[in-house]
Amino acid sequence: MEKTLYLHWGPGGNAQAELKSFNDHFSPSFVLWNQPTVSPEAKEPYGFLIEATLDQVSKIYAETRTPLHLFGHSFGAHLALEAARRLPEKVRKISLVSPLYSLSLAYRRLGTRLAEIYGDETLATATRQFEKNPAFQTFLPLFQQVTGRPDFMNQFWGSAPESVEARNRFLKAIENTPILHVETFLSVIKNVFDSYSTDEYRLSLTPPATLETEVHLGKEDPYVLLDEDVDHWRQWIPHAKIVTYPVGHFIPLEIGKVWA
Give per-residue pLDDT as tens, 124-155. Answer: 999 999 999 988 999 999 999 988 887 888 88
Question: Residue 170's pLDDT is what?
Answer: 85
**Cα–Cα distance measured from residue 63 to residue 42, given in angstroms and rounded to the nearest whole number:** 30
pLDDT band, residue 258 (cuts 50/70/90): low
How far is C-alpha 47 from the geometric centre of its chain's CA atoms?
17
Asked if residue 13 lies in contact with residue 75, where contact means CB atoms within 8 angstroms, the answer is yes
Give per-residue pLDDT as tens, 222-236. Answer: 999 999 999 999 999
Mean pLDDT of the chain: 88
Asked if residue 129 lies in contact with residue 138, where contact means CB atoms within 8 angstroms, the answer is yes
pLDDT at 34 over 90: no
What pTM was computed for the model? 0.92
- Among 6-15, 47-56, 88-97, 188-197, whose mean pLDDT is lowest? 188-197
CATH no. of 4-101+155-254: 3.40.50.1820
Question: Could you tell me the residue ranges of all domains in the chain?
Answer: 4-101+155-254, 106-152
**Cα–Cα distance measured from residue 77 to residue 181, given in angstroms and rounded to the nearest whole number:** 19
Asked if residue 189 lies in contact with residue 183, where contact means CB atoms within 8 angstroms, the answer is no
Question: Residue 70's pLDDT is what?
Answer: 96
Half-sphere exposure of residue 85: CA atoms within 13 angstroms, side-chain side: 15
**Cα–Cα distance measured from residue 23 to residue 82, given in angstroms and rounded to the nearest whole number:** 26
**Cα–Cα distance measured from residue 30 to residue 41, given in angstroms and rounded to the nearest whole number:** 32
Per DSSP, helices labelled H in the chain are 16-21, 45-64, 75-86, 103-118, 121-132, 136-147, 161-173, 182-196, 199-204, 226-236, 251-254
